[in-house]
Chains A and B, each alone.
Chain A
Amino acid sequence: MSLTDFHRFKELARQENVVFYYTGYFSQSIVTAMGDSLRLRLSSLDASQTARRKLFSVFVEMAQNVVHYSADHLTATDESDHEIRMGSLWVGEADGHYYVVCANPISSEGAAHIRAKLEPLRTMTNDEIKALYKEKLRAEGEAGSKGAGLGFLTVARDSSNPIEFDFVDETGTAGPFTTFYLKATI
């Protein structure tokens, strides 16, 4: 990329009010460092304590989702600690609201599973999401989950608008794969 292209890239980010952007491998130590950086940015923004905490919460859930579940990984899939996986995350501002978008490759079979979890959350009211969250919090852990199985629900709970998601089929050097996008607006 020439420096002129880099300037255009940077200008676009400025015009789009991107607060924070990262693409690459995600590990817990990278998530923590990004969290510290985001915190510093948030402290200089004009946002309520509740909005900042919700934004930080959505950021952590999405970033840890990449650490645990992205299909592009440097570590063995059965590891539950010190995982390193590929993804992108950005935090921006539009129309007076902050948003977080996260993207990571998933297996083609993964899309249907994720869609089935997310689609119902889009049409639920805030109270319904809170009630489901309470119920899941007290339920036994889900098979295949490395956390509490509450990540998407937490994102939906902390989001002021319905969460948005998409799946994009792509072709990589190692064959076709699907990129999963998730967006939450605070």
Chain B
Amino acid sequence: MQNLYIAPTSSTPEVNFQFDQHQLSLRGESYPENAQAFFGPIMQAVQNYLPSLQSTQVTVDVQLAYFNSSSTKVLLELFSLFNDAAVAGNYVTLNWHYIEDDETILEFGQEVADDFTALDFHPCALVE
């Protein structure tokens, strides 16, 4: 399946989903006007990718300095897909990168970990 790369803008993150390497990363900021429209094709690609896996180690790196409320909702849906894949017998590591003293981003990451217990969650503090 084809890898997915979307270059970052001021209000949308860099999307680098190397499906052939099972390495997926989101970096930057996310506050598009319409989060459903931006993430729709990304969700679709992930939905095509995950069912093809069998006992596969997938690494997801998320390094988002800021995301708005509508992006938050879509991100939760995205992590739910990864959690389903982990429940289905894959190993999904979620590396959650956050700026050390940004408690809101860390708290959201911990909520993701609490909600989706099949994910191997690693909080990674970035020291400025």
What separation, in Å, do the CA atoms of A80 and B35 have in the docked complex?
11
Main secondary structure of the interface of A (DSSP, over half): helix
Question: Which B residues are in CB contact (< 8 Å) with A67?
Answer: 33
Contact B69 A53 (CB under 8 A): no
Q: Given A67-B33, A83-B33, A50 and B104 touching (CB < 8 A)? A: yes
Q: Does B20 contact A (CB under 8 A)?
A: no
Q: Does B23 contact A (CB under 8 A)?
A: no
What separation, in Å, do the CA atoms of A150 and B35 have in the docked complex?
13
Question: Which B residues are in CB contact (< 8 Å) with A92?
Answer: none
Q: How many residues of B contact A (CB 8 A)?
A: 28
1/0 contact trace for B92-110 toward A, CB 8 Å?
Answer: 0000000111111100000
Contact A49 B102 (CB under 8 A): yes
In chain A, positions 136-165 with a C-beta closer than 8 Å to chain B are 137-138, 141, 146-148, 150-151, 153-154, 158
CB < 8 Å neighbour of B102 from A50, A60, A61, A138:
A50
In chain B, positions 13-39 with a C-beta closer than 8 Å to chain A are 31-35, 37
CB < 8 Å neighbour of B99 from A49, A82, A141, A153:
A49
Q: Does B66 contact A (CB under 8 A)?
A: yes
The stretch among B44-52, B53-61, B70-78, B82-90 that forms the contact with chain A is B70-78
CB < 8 Å neighbour of B34 from A53, A56, A61, A80:
A80
Contact B68 A57 (CB under 8 A): yes
What separation, in Å, do the CA atoms of A151 and B35 have in the docked complex?
13
Q: Which 9 A-B pairs have the closest CB atoms?
A: A148-B73, A147-B70, A150-B69, A28-B33, A148-B70, A154-B69, A32-B10, A49-B101, A32-B11
- Of the A-B pairs whose beta carbons lie under 8 Å apart in the complex, a sample of 11, sorted by A's number, is A31-B11, A50-B102, A50-B103, A64-B33, A64-B68, A80-B34, A81-B33, A81-B37, A147-B69, A148-B74, A153-B69
